[in-house]
């Protein structure tokens, strides 16, 4: 696995074609569906951890923050890389839906060619999320006021921005899928299995075969002669 999605996006001169986004997104969601079927929460889904083989196959990597989901009564750390809004408010009771928030962010980044919710720290990132999705309320996020840090962090009231303005180059099906993943209420957030069944993946332009994906050029590995020269002692 000589590259990752982060490097692929970095070397692009323009956003990915939607057919290519579908290919990457489908492989990501299949990996998450498999993990979640085994009760594994990855908790660090981001482009740099989505490894890509020379043939274009994407695989989930870096399970250093992963843990087993054992049920709603278990307390989990909120100090993880995944920045789902419930974690930004200090929740310690969450499930695999935090990975689905991250998956939505990755798909949006592929479509926009830039992160959807950039932030220098947790507070800044939470503010960015609220500016996009609007202020959380009991209607759009039942139980939000009970989260540990809800009363510690206050912002002025903000109205939501339509998803098609946040991701202006996306198709209607892509917008609809993102609206099912990037929602405050984790119980309404799509699972990986539901996302894979969304019309986004079953309408034109269809996903290309992974072998058709354009990957950044990789330097050729050093020859045996070059390795031997590197290992020779330097005369002084």
What residues are annotated to the active site?
Answer: 44
Three-state DSSP state, 50: strand
The alpha carbon dihedral of 176, 178, 181, 182 has a sign of negative
The CA-CA-CA angle for residues 98, 101, 103, to 5°, reads: 110
Residue 83, class by beta-carbon neighbours within 10 Å (0-12 exposed, 13-18 middle, 19+ buried)? buried
Query: Considering only CA atoms, which of 181, 161, 30 is closest in space to residue 106?
Result: 181
d(CA 11, CA 215): 9
Which residue do the tokens 């759009």 mark?
Answer: 140
Query: Considering only CA atoms, which of 35, 185, 167, 153 is closest in space to residue 106?
Result: 167
Q: Which two tokens stand for residue 62?
A: 């870096």
Q: Please report how many Cα atoms fall inside a 13 Å half-sphere around the Cα of residue 52, on the Cβ side.
A: 26
Angle between helices 97-112 and 172-181 (to 10 degrees): 150
């Amino acid at each position: 696995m000589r590259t990752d999605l982060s490097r692929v996006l970095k070397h692009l001169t323009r956003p990915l074609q939607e057919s290519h986004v579908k290919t990457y997104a489908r492989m990501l969601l299949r990996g998450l569906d498999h993990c979640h079927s085994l009760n594994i929460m990855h908790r660090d889904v981001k482009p740099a951890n989505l490894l890509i083989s020379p043939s274009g196959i994407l695989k989930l990597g870096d399970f250093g923050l992963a843990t087993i989901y054992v049920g709603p009564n278990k307390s989990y750390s909120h100090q993880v890389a995944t920045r789902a809004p419930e974690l930004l408010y200090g929740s310690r009771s969450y499930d695999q839906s935090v990975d689905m928030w991250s998956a939505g962010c990755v798909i949006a980044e592929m479509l926009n060619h830039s992160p959807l919710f950039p932030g220098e720290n947790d507070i800044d990132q939470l503010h960015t999320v609220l500016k996009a999705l609007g202020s959380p309320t009991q209607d759009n996020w039942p139980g939000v006021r009970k989260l540990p840090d809800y009363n510690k962090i206050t912002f002025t009231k903000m109205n939501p921005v339509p998803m098609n303005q946040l991701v202006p180059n996306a198709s209607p099906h892509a917008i609809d899928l993102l609206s099912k993943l990037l929602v405050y209420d984790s119980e309404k957030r799509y699972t990986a299995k539901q996302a894979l069944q969304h019309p986004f993946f079953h309408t034109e332009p269809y996903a290309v075969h992974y072998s058709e994906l354009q990957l950044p050029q990789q330097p050729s590995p050093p020859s045996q002669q070059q390795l031997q020269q590197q290992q020779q002692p330097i005369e002084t």
